[in-house]
Amino acid sequence: MLLKVERFVGWSCSIPAWKTWLPRTITDTEEGSPEDNTTEQDRLQRGYIVLAQVLPWLHAKLGQLDIDKCQDMLKQLKRRADAARGDDTSTLKDLVASWVNQDFQPSSLLKSDDKQMRGFVHNICGNLLCPSEWDWGDNTVKAGIRDRMVDYIILENSWPLFLYEKYMVNYGNLKQGLFKSKILVQAFKAIFTSPSSAREADGDSDGADILENNRRARRQLNQAKVKTCVASIINMRKVTPRSIAYVVCQVHFALSNISSWRTIDGDFDYEGFWNNMVDFFEDVPGPVTQRRVNLLLKWWTRKVFGNNHRQDLMPEVISHMSVTTLAQQRKELEDAIFDSE
């Protein structure tokens, strides 16, 4: 159960912010108006709701603790979440290097054990990390980023190119292809299913081989003789917004040249970046955008887990299927004959 907590907490919430928000929320007896919440409070609350749905015992457990013990429990969760994140960081450090070398065949190959030559000093990593509003192929842009000129500061308020399908962006329609890149699918599968499954990522397009995806998903999730994957441990059957945001941050870090994890990298704030992605998926302006987000999440689930929906079937849906209907008709026929005799 602890492994389940630490893996889920690692990508569902911001522990430092929870340390001040959660104890007050659990112990507060006054009902506040949702309109009074800040964007950050709404984001934290949505994260807590998701976590409580996966770990039903959590809310009751925290409610039994005083503020100090609640803080202690959150500190333990943070330590375990940090450890899980460290494992994923180590895994992707090697894999991202191999994927970049294989897919882009750079003149200067990335070394799996060395990050010093990654980031903007490396032409391919620099292109993938470059904000989508700039053209890495423009030498002025490239020099400005590398020299950290004021007009080319890298902040968390830009979508990097590696997020986009085929690593191409349509600046007139920035949502096109966003969060659909091959390297993200590979990284997600490496973390949540298995590193070997990442080799089977079938590219960027929507034309997935559904039967093949289903076969792979069954093999990855149901093999009893191999180490249980993270997705099985946390009962993940669908890709979620916060798991995508977590993977994006991990890939961004793997492409960068910083050797150890830190929230702030120069001018770039990883926590702010994560918040921007969560808000993209969860804080939508209306139903049209929500439908597009839902379609994107379905695309992700199909890419990672195949196209199985058995777990989504409700009892009332099954009750109207032909096997159940025929059983009911046969029973009704028997009852009618019995009553007539």
Q: What is the pLDDT of residues 15-32, one digit of tens each?
A: 455 444 454 444 444 455
Cα–Cα distance, 203 to 83 (Å, whole number): 30
pLDDT value of position 133? 96
Q: Quick one: tokens of 272?
A: 């702010």
Higher pLDDT among residues 64 and 222, named by residue: 64
pLDDT value of position 195? 79
Question: Is the pLDDT score of 150 beyond 90?
Answer: yes
Q: Which residue is it, tokens 């159940």?
A: 324
Global pTM? Answer: 0.76
Lowest mean pLDDT among 93-107, 155-169, 193-207, 215-229: 215-229
pLDDT value of position 219? 56
Q: What are the CA-CA distances from residue 166 to residues 41, 104, 122, 280, 300 (Å)?
A: 35, 12, 19, 21, 15
Cα–Cα distance, 39 to 64 (Å, whole number): 28
